[in-house]
Amino acid sequence: MKNFEYTIKDELGIHARPAGVLAKEAKKYASTITITKDGKSAQATKLMAVMALGVKNGNTVTVTVEGDDEEQAFEGIKAFFENNL
């Protein structure tokens, strides 16, 4: 299991569009990717659950990666957050 913390820089937070792209990215990996904010978590592949977290600009989330390809998934998802969110 690997995890990292990330503070959202996107002005609008994780709204529908980025959540959709994130879900798509997360589906590339076999690992389970979980996003946690203020004790509430959601699997990155579940669009609605991620949106329901209501992650806004400036919020810090913890992203947890667990599974067979976690090294690769960790790098990929981390880069995704840094580039898109």
Does 66 help bind another protein (rule: CB under 8 A)?
Answer: no
Q: Which helix (H) or strand (E) holds 2?
A: strand 2-7
Taking the C-alpha atoms of residue 31 and residue 50, their distance in angstroms, rounded to an integer, is 17
Does 21 help bind another protein (rule: CB under 8 A)?
Answer: yes
Collapsing DSSP to helix, strand or coil, 77 comes out as helix
Does 40 help bind another protein (rule: CB under 8 A)?
Answer: no
| 15 is annotated as an active-site residue | yes
Size (the chain), residues: 85
Chain centroid offset of residue 16 CA: 13
Shortest CB 5 distance to another protein, Å: 22
Does 47 help bind another protein (rule: CB under 8 A)?
Answer: yes
**Which amino acid, 11?**
E
Instruction: Please say which residue, 3 or 21, places its beta carbon nearer to another protein.
Output: 21
Q: Which residues bind another protein (CB under 8 A)?
A: 12, 15-17, 19-21, 23-24, 27-28, 30, 32, 43, 45-48, 51-52, 54, 56
